Amino acid sequence: MSDKLTEIMAWKRREIAPLLRPVTEAELARLDASLPRPPSFAAGLRRSDGRLAVIAEIKRRSPSAGDIKAGASSLEQARRYQAAGADALSILTDEKYFGGTLDDLRGVTAHFRSNAPAIPCLRKDFMVHPIQVLQAREAGAGAILIIVRALTDEEIAVLATAATVAGLDALFEIHNEAEIERAARHGAKIIGVNNRDLAIFKTDLALSERLIPKFPPGVIAVSESGIATAADAARVRAAGAQAVLVGEALMRSADPSALVAELRSA
C-alpha cells in the first residue's frame, strides 16, 4: 500500500472508531427491505446502445489536485450531471481529504427520488467496516467502493457480503494483476482500474490498457482517473472499458453535457 493511502486508511479507521458496533446480516437485510430500492449501479453501467458509460464524480478536492471546486454544491453539481445524461454518479463522502460528507450523498439521492430520471450513486469513501455499508444504504447509495490494496481478504469478504445483503453493488478498485485475482476470488462483478498511483501521484492510462484485458469474463470494466478527453476515453474503450469514472475534468468543466457527450463519442 502506498504511503498516502496508508495515511488515509489509518485516519479513516480512527475516524469511524467511535461508530463501530456489530452489524449483522439480519440487520442489513431488514434495512434493505425497509427502504426504497436504489437504482442499480451495475445496470446503469450496461448501456443498451453499447456506448461507453460515464460515472460523473462529485469531488471538491483531492490530495493530488488540491482544491478542484471548493465550496461546490453537491446538489447543484448532481443536477448538472443529471442534465448531462450521466449514467451514474460517484459521490465523495470523505471530508478530511476530499471535502465531502454523507449529507452530500443523502441530499443528492433525495433529489433523485423526486426528480426523474433517478441515477445510481456510488458512495466513494475508504470502506473498512459494515457500519459504513449500513450508512451508505441509509443514505440512498446503490454501490460502495472496495479498494482491494487497502484491505485484508477478510475485510474484503465482510464488506462484499454486507453490500450484497444490503442490496448494494460493489466497485472493486485495483491497481495491479494480483489485485485482479483477489477481486475475482471475492466474486467481483464490477472492477475498476485506478490509473493514478497513489504512491507517486502519477496517472497513466497505460495501466487500464494493460490490466482490463486480464479481467475475468463477464466483469463490468471501469477505468478511473486521468480521463478528460474523447481521446483518453477512446484509449480505455479500446482496452475493453465499459465505463469511465471522471471527476476532476467534469468538476472543472463549464459544460458537463458537452464533455459527457465527448467522452461517449469514443
Catalytic residue among 59, 62, 253, 262: 59
| Grid cell of 86 as nine digits | 450521466
Residue 225 is a catalytic residue:
yes
Residue 7 is a catalytic residue:
no
Matching residue, cell 469531488: 59
* Helix, strand, coil content of the chain in percent (nearest 5): 45, 20, 35
Tell me how far apart the alpha carbons of residues 211 and 209 are, in angstroms, rounded to a whole number. Answer: 6
Catalytic residue among 62, 74, 124, 179: 124
Secondary structure of residue 36 in the 3-state scheme: coil
Catalytic residue among 62, 90, 173, 223: 173
Catalytic residue among 208, 209, 223, 224: 224
Catalytic residue among 74, 208, 225, 253: 225
Catalytic residue among 62, 74, 90, 194: 194
Catalytic residue among 12, 57, 195, 248: 57
Contact 172, 192 (CB under 8 A): yes
Secondary structure of residue 256 in the 3-state scheme: helix
Residue 194 is a catalytic residue:
yes
Residue 173 is a catalytic residue:
yes
Q: What is the DSSP letter of 194?
A: E
Residue 95 is a catalytic residue:
no
What residues are annotated to the active site? 57, 59, 124, 173, 194, 224-225
